Structures are given as C-alpha cells and as structure tokens.
Structure 1
Amino acid sequence: MGKSILITGGVRSGKSRLAEDMTLGLGRRAIYIATAQAHDAEMADRIARHQARRGPEWRTVAEPLQLARTLRDTDGDAPRLVDCLTLWLSNLMLSGADWDGACAELCALIPRQSAPVVFVTNEVGAGIVPENALARAFRDAAGLVNQSISRSCDELWLCVAGHPIKVK
C-alpha cells in the first residue's frame, strides 16, 4: 500500500509548497493532479504560477471531476499530488454531481493505492458563517470531505503561515 497524506490549511498558508516537497521526497519523478479550472484570467494566472514553480520532474494531469478514476489510472511507481480537494468539491457541486458519492469512492480507493498520494485541501470552516445558501452548503460539504479523507489517509498535516504541524 502506498503512503497517503492530507495537508490542510488556510489560503496562502504554504500547503501547496509543502505538498510538492513531500511528494518529491517520495520519488524522483511525480504526477501533479490539478483540479483547478481556468474560468477567468485571474484563475488562469494562478494556474500558470503553480505550473512555473514546478520543475521537469513533474508530469501534470488536469482532472476537475473524475479524481478517483484519475488516481486509479495513475497508480504505479510515481507518487501523486492532488491539488486541491476543495476545488474538486467546488467543481462537483457546480456541475450538479453527487459529491458525497464521489468522496466515498475516493475514500474507499485511497487505502488500495500502491503508489503514494498527497492531497491538498483548504480549511474553510474557521471563518464567519456565509450569508448565502450555496456558500454555506460548500463550507459544510468541505468540512465533511476533509474529515472523510483525513480518516482514509495515513498522515494529516496542518500548515499555518508556512509552518507545518503534523496532526496525525
């Protein structure tokens, strides 16, 4: 069984860089599974900055929805980095997909992976209660997804202001 790690934290907490370092520490070459979609110029710029930071040791697979299938398809020798689960959840919710079923499928798959996998997610429930129903539904779903994935992973890390703290 491959090692599984979940890294959470707030926006710009350093979690993606930590995840990249951890993933490359598990193998010389790695697969970056990107869930982001460039729906506007600002998001396209964010994606470009992430890509520019990575070197030639990374192979990128863009997959906004079918995360479990992509993990099955990429399982092998190279460690994988999934960045990020909250964008994946957002994509699922906005497309009307069964996010709860997709999360259950992912949780069942994690322990069966032969290659390591590192997941990045955002810790979204520490702020104020959102004023609209969709934002509240997303916040609640993100908390449930994070809890489920963390139970399925071997390790859980919290990144705060660029400093990682091992939780599990």
Structure 2
Amino acid sequence: MASKVTIILGGAASGKSAFAEQACVKTGKNKIYWATSQIFDLEMKEKVARHLTQRGPDWTTIEDPYTAATAFENTQPKDVVLMDCATMWLTNHLIAEHNLEEETDRLLSAIETCPAEVIVVTNETGLGIVPENALARRFREAQGRLNIALAAKADCVVMVAAGLPMVLKGAL
C-alpha cells in the first residue's frame, strides 16, 4: 500500500491544487506530478503552462490522461505523487466511453500498490443543483462514487474552500 494516501477535494478554483502542491513540498520527498488533463484548446494550453511555471523545475511531470500505472511505475517510498486531478481523469474515461467501474478499480489498485506517498486532487461536484442532461447527471454520479471510493482508501481527506483547508479524515 502507498505509504500515505491523501485526498484533497473542493470546488472548481477553490485552491485545492495549490494546497496539494504545497502538501507535496512539505513532505520533502521527490515530487512527481501526474497531469491527467488533455489539451484541446488555447485556454487549456495556457493553463497548463501556468501550472508548470507555478510548480517550478524540481517536479517530474508525467502526462497521461488515463493510466495510473504510468504515473506510479518506478516510484519509491522517497517519492510523492500528486494526481491532478481525478475529475479530469474520470472525464477522459467517460468521454472515451470506457467502463468507469473497471477503470476506477484499476486506479484504486494502483494507488494501493504504489510505494510512494500519493496525493489526489478531485472536485466535489455534489454541492450544486441536479444537472439538466443525462451525461452531466451520469458524470456527477460517477464523480461522487469515485470520491467516496478514494476517501475510503485514504489516510487523510481534506476539503478546500476559498483556499482554506478543512480536514475531514485523518491528519495532515
């Protein structure tokens, strides 16, 4: 099992990624960033460039929109892996029409067997209104189930709102 698993969740633009990056820095471990986003437009390209600059050169970045094994292979207990984010990862699988249950099982298994510390950023999507269309409702339900499964496996769960962390489970 990973030496420690931390889940950091919150709304969009809540400060969860910045909080997660700082949590990685505080470990003093080799920092590995698993980027799950895909770049389809200029806005996303600029956002990714900002994030790379913000993190600085002492991070190893692995870009893979689907496969946890890619990000976790060859990690050691001296490493910390930041998955940013589980919401994009889920979206990628949903759009590709992959089996979400199977992919979630693979992700959870990869986290469990990873020798490095793992920090996962994910969005809390269940605080809003019920979406008007079937795809959005399917996504919201899948995201809720994924967050529940991640939190069950985690040693620590932190909710970030307005840049402020609130520990829901365990300790930082």
Shorter-chain TM-score range: over 0.9
Unaligned residue ranges in structure 1 (runs of 5+): none
In structure 1, what residue type is equivalent to 2:125?
V
| Offset at residue 148 of structure 1 (A) | 0.3
Distance in 1, Cα, partners of 2:82 & 2:97: 25
Trace 1:105-124 onto structure 2 (pairs within 5 A).
Answer: 105-124=106-125
Distance in 2, Cα, partners of 1:109 & 1:54: 24
Q: Check conservation: 2:62, 2:71, Cα contact below 8 A.
A: no
Distance in 2, Cα, partners of 1:45 & 1:56: 17
The alignment partner of 2:119 has SS state of strand
Q: TM-score, normalised by structure 2?
A: 0.92
| Offset at residue 112 of structure 1 (A) | 2.5
Trace 1:1-168 onto structure 2 (pairs within 5 A).
Answer: 1-67=2-68, 69-76=69-76, 77-168=78-169
After superposition, the CA RMSD in angstroms is 1.2
Q: Check conservation: 2:130, 2:137, Cα contact below 8 A.
A: yes
Distance in 2, Cα, partners of 1:157 & 1:19: 10
| Offset at residue 29 of structure 1 (A) | 2.6
In structure 2, what residue type is equivalent to 1:26?
T
Alignment deviations for residues 68-122 of structure 1 (CA, whole Å, 9 cap, x no partner): x124314213111000000000000111111211111222332322210100000
List, as ranges, runs of 4+ consecutive aligned residues in structure 1 with deviation greater than 3 Å: none
Unaligned residue ranges in structure 2 (runs of 5+): none
Distance in 2, Cα, partners of 1:139 & 1:48: 28
